[in-house]
């Protein structure tokens, strides 16, 4: 390692790391002197075969079109996953994992969207009915 002059921040970091190493070597209980946190590692998204993609979709009772809207992809993308011509991306696989873990939640989301009239805003009438709609609004 080359001998370079450390910045003041770098020197503080090296000093703190040396102190930490000394404390470890001395057997000092780390949590008494340092802030220690335990973090659970989130597993990588599962792999999804075409059969498994379809099984997740059917788990929530969605058509390919509705499932595509839920996942914010095209229906063609859902078809390609279910036919095995394409693999879901890692973020899509993470979403599929979430759906598998809580299918009732996502089935409820679909049902509430249907009850609310769908994900898009209501369309305004066009043509001769537009004038009547404007007068009423």
Evaluate if residue 97 carries a pLDDT over 50: yes
The pLDDT value given to residue 100: 97
Q: How far apart are CA 128 and CA 125, in angstroms?
A: 8
Name the 3-class secondary structure at 134: helix
pLDDT band (50, 70, 90) for residue 119? low
Q: How far apart are CA 92 and CA 86, in angstroms?
A: 12
The pLDDT value given to residue 103: 97
The pLDDT value given to residue 3: 60
75: Cβ–Cβ under 8 A, 6 or more apart, which residues? 64, 65, 68
Most distant pair of Cα atoms in the chain: their distance:
86
39-to-10, 36, 42, 48 alpha-carbon distances in Å: 26, 10, 9, 27
pTM of the model: 0.59
Domain spans of the chain?
Answer: 9-35, 50-115
Using CA atoms of 60, 63, 64, 65 in order, give the dihedral in degrees to the nearest 10.
-120
Q: How far apart are CA 118 and CA 53, in angstroms?
A: 23
Thinking of the domain 50-115, which architecture would CATH place it in? Answer: Orthogonal Bundle (1.10)
Residue with tokens 């993308």: 77
Q: Which structure tokens are listed for 22?
A: 């000394």
């Amino acid at each position: 390692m080359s001998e370079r002059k450390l910045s003041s921040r770098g020197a503080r970091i090296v000093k703190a790391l040396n102190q930490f190493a000394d404390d470890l070597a001395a057997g000092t209980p780390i949590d008494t002197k340092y802030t220690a946190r335990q973090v659970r590692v989130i597993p990588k998204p599962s792999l999804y075969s075409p059969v498994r993609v379809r099984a997740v979709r059917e788990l929530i009772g969605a058509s390919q079109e509705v499932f595509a809207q839920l996942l914010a992809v095209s229906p063609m993308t859902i078809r390609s996953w279910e036919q095995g011509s394409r693999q879901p991306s890692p973020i899509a696989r993470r979403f599929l994992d979430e759906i598998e873990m809580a299918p009732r939640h996502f089935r409820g989301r679909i049902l509430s969207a249907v009850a609310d009239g769908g994900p898009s805003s209501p369309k305004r009438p066009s043509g001769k009915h537009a004038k009547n709609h404007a007068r009423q609004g």
